[in-house]
Amino acid sequence: MRILITGGAGFVGSNLADFFLKNDSEVLCFDNLYRKGTEKNLEWLKENHKKNFSFIKGDIRSFDSLKEASRDVDVIFHTAAQTAVTTSLKDPRNDFEINALGTFNLLEAARQSNTDPIIIYTSTNKVYGDNVNAIPLKEKETRYEFDDEKFKLGIPEDFSTDADEHTPYGCSKYLGDVYMRDYYKIFGLKTITFRMSCIYGTRQFGNEDQGWVVHFIISSIFDKPLTIFGDGKQVRDILFISDLVNLFDIAIEKINKIKGQTFNIGGGSKNTCSLLELIQLIDELTDKKSKITHDDWRPSDQKVYISNISKVKKEINWEPEISVKEGVKKLIEWVEKNKNLFS
C-alpha cells in the first residue's frame, strides 16, 4: 500500500508510520512540524526506516499541497489537527482553519485523486459537548461514575451531539465528522470516523492541555509540580497506542463492511481511571510522590467520559488488549529510557 499520513510526525501519526513501514508499505509523512516533539519523531522515523519513507513539510490548510500529496495514495490517515480545547478558546479562528478547513481540504484532495483512497479520520469525544455532563453521576472516594444503568458501558455513537458548549475545538472536529459522512454518502468516498477518547503511549510529548497521561508521567519522573483542574475525580477510558494502531490495520482490511461509519474508540469500560487513580498508579510504579496543586475546572470539561466500544467490537471484532496498568508501565519505561527527548 501507499499510505499518506497527515500529522505523520505527531504522536499517533508516527506510530502508524512505524507500524506500516515495518509491514512493507510505502509511507508519505505530511506534517508542518508545528507541535512539540514532531521533529524528534521525524528524526526517529528517518533513522529507523531507510526505505519506503518520505516526508513533505506541508500544512493541511494548503489545498494545493494536500492535493499533490494525495494524488496516488491508497490510504489516508488524517491525524493532523489542533488538539487542545484551551488553545481553541484562545484562538478559535486558527482552530477552525486547521480542523474544519483542513479536513475539508483533505476530502476534496481525496475526491480529486487518481486512486479513490480509504480515509480514516481521527475525531474526538468532544463532539458530544456538554450533553455528557447532563448524565447523573455518583461520587465515590477517588472517582465519579455514571449513575444511569443505560450508560454502564459508556457513551454510544447515537448519543446526542446537539447542544451548546462544545468549545471551538469540539465544533471544528465535529464539522469534520459531518463532512466525512456526507462525502461518503454523496461522493462515495471510503471514509471512516473514529471518535477517540484518551490515547496514550510512546512517542507522545504531552502537556497539561493535551496528552495528560504522559504529562503526569513526565511530571513525576522529572519531579515537576502537577496541576489538577477540578478535584481529580474526573474519569476517562484510556487506550494504549499499539491497540489503536492495530485497529487502523483491521479497519483497512474491513473497509467494505464499515465504510461511511462512525465509531467511538477508547479503552472502554474495562480501561478507565480517574486523574487521582492515575497519579496513585504512577506513584506506585515509580516509587515517588507526585507534587500536586489544584486549579479551577476548565470550560466544558466532562466529569466522566467513557467510550462504549460495543459497535466496533461487533463490526470488526476489535477490542483493547493492553490494560491500564500495563500501558502506564510501558510508557513510564519509555520515558525513563528516553529522558534526553524531554530535556
Q: Which residues belong to the active site? A: 169
d(C-alpha 192, C-alpha 121), whole Å: 6
d(C-alpha 127, C-alpha 158), whole Å: 12
Cell triple for residue 65? 499541497
d(C-alpha 341, C-alpha 178), whole Å: 37
* In contact, 137 and 147? CB cutoff 8 Å: yes
d(C-alpha 142, C-alpha 156), whole Å: 25
Q: How are beta strands 235-240 and 272-274 bridged, if at all?
A: antiparallel
| Neighbouring C-beta atoms of residue 231, cutoff 10 Å | 14
Find, among 145, 174, 142, 187, the residue nearest to 262 by Cα. 174
Would you give the distance in Å from CA 150 to the centre of its chain? 26
